[in-house]
Structures are given as structure tokens and as C-alpha cells.
Amino acid sequence: MQFSQIIFKKAELRPYTYQAVKVLIFLFLAAYTVYTLNDKPYWSLHFLNDLREAVFSAPGKALLVVLLLPANWGLEALKWQTMVKRFHPLSYTEAYKGILTGVAMGFATPHGLGDYFGRILRLPYRERSSLVGAVFLTRMAQLAVTVIAGGLSLLYFIGAYTSFSFRWLFLPVIPALVILLAALLVSRNRPLLYNLVRQPWIQRFFGRLQEHSSGEFIRLALFSVLRYGVFTLQFVLLIQLYNIPGTLLIQLLGVNLIFLAKSVIPTLFDLGVREYAAWYFFAALGLENPHIVQASIVLWLVNVLSPSLIGMFLVFGIRFRPRHDQ
């Protein structure tokens, strides 16, 4: 059973029905976007005036933030192309379209789950289920970079800005050691491990990951680090654009903590976590400034909303069935 059959299992639909489904998806994404933007504080006159003043005060930095947008998602497209091209000759342009489609569908679904559908449904029908693992790995690679950078920043933040004793940090070590011990026992039990990995559903979705070379994994990690650097630079530029005081080290520390909170806190609403984390961490760093929340929102408008608006129209390029069936 192919990945798209999760939705259309054993369904015999006419070609125009698939087009109608695409229209419905587009309308849903458009309606969700309007709902997200409706009556939000970032459309207030105060917010827009502050943004206009910030842009005119440093137009070069504002332009650079916008110009880094295609680089941000372009690096994600390179990650996707790296993981797919061994099995399907995916061009960079098609990889970029898949990323934008995934951004749009992920924007309107919990935890960005629509990203899987947006990317996969642009691939040839026969390749879809086997490349779900590639989507998962590209997302996990980016999460790993975020957690490492944010985790190191969190340790520094706890030691330098709170009265929290580092001895309490050893409490998580106990369950971590238990998990590590269990993993070692499983790894030494080769028959158990082999039977687990050989489960049909694991092979269907993740089996092809073992066919990748070490060079491909290294490029995936490198692109993930570079992409993290790009949207970190965007955030720092926005902080400076709003003339928020603080050394570059403090700014980087706050940005890393915001990205960490956004990535690891379970939530259906990415923007709410982003706003609260921006306010909390920068206030704790002694930079309690209302403009930090505005800078965080502007980053979301640039990096998430704008590519989602483009990706909405790329939804019409997805394929639910083999091309000759549509």
C-alpha cells in the first residue's frame, strides 16, 4: 500500500475528483491563513508603525532579512534533494517546490505533519512510501542542530542567570542511563534487533535510509547547520533592527533559547510559543523589551507565512495517483 493510499485507500475516483480535492485543500489553507491573521496584534497600527520605523532606520538589514528567506528554504531544498536523488532524479527546482508545498500544508496542521504530505505527494507514485523516512530524517537533522545549540545555551543560561544548582541537572542522567543500558542490551541481542528492523511497516517507510552513503549524511548535517545559521542571523538582524540593547553573545543566547523552546514544547500553535519564549528568555537576560516579541513575529511572517502563501498555489501540482490516472 502506497503512502497516499492512507487517505484514498482502495478508492476509485474520477480524475476531476482529484482536482476537486486539490481545490478543497487550497481553500482550507487559505481559510486557515485568514483565521490565523484575523484580529491579531501584529496588524495593529502600533505594530505596523514600529515595523516601519525599524525598516527605515536600517533598510540594509531589513533587506538582508528578506533576501535570506530563499537561502533558508533553499538549504532545506538541498537537504531534501540530497536524500531523494539516489532513488529519484529530483531537480533542485522540484525539490524547492516540494519544500514550499510542505511548508504550506505543515502551516495548517499540528506539529507540521502536513510537511510530509506536501513533499511526498510531489514525488512519483511508486517512490512515496519508501521516502517517508527521508522526510523524517531531514526534519530530525534540523531538530538535532537546534537542540544541541539550544541545549548548550540553556546550560549557560542556567549557570549564569539563575540560582538553580547544577547538581539537579544530574537527575535526568538516571533515566538517560537506563535508556542507554536498554539500548545496549537490545543492540547486543541481534535476533531481537533484526526482527524489529525487519518489521514490514518499518521497511516500507524507513528501509531505504540504510542505502544512503556516509557522504550524504554528512551533507545533510552540514546543510542543517548552515540553515540554522541563516535563520539565526535573520533573528539577530531583526533584534538589531529594533535597536534592542545587548551584546551579540546575549542576542545569540536568547535566539538559541527561543528556537529550542519552539522546537521541543508540544503545541498546536507555533506562534504562541515563539512569542512567550521571546518575552521570557530576553526578560531573564535583562533585556525586557516589547520589541523582542515584535521581532519574533516579523521573523515568523517572513520565514513561515510568506512561503506558505506561495506554497498554497503549488498544492495544485501534487499528485494523488499515477499521472495517467489523473
Euclidean distance between CA atoms 165 and 162, whole angstroms: 9
Cβ(82)–Cβ(219) below 8 Å: yes
203-257: per-residue pLDDT in tens?
Answer: 767 767 777 788 888 999 999 999 999 999 999 999 999 988 888 888 899 899 8
3-class SS at 199?
A: coil
CA distances from 194 to 23, 114, 187, 223, 254 (A): 44, 31, 9, 31, 43
292-314: per-residue pLDDT in tens?
Answer: 888 888 998 999 999 999 999 99
The per-residue pLDDT for 8 is: 44
151-200: per-residue pLDDT in tens?
Answer: 888 888 887 777 765 555 555 555 556 666 666 665 555 565 456 556 67
Q: What is the mean pLDDT of residues 68-79?
A: 95
**pTM of the model as a whole:** 0.81
Q: What is the mean pLDDT of residues 42-65?
A: 87
The per-residue pLDDT for 126 is: 74
Euclidean distance between CA atoms 141 and 137, whole angstroms: 6
Please determine, for residue 10, whether its predicted confidence score (pLDDT) is greater than 50.
no
Q: Who has greater pLDDT, 214 or 288?
A: 214
Q: Who has greater pLDDT, 88 or 104?
A: 104
The per-residue pLDDT for 97 is: 94
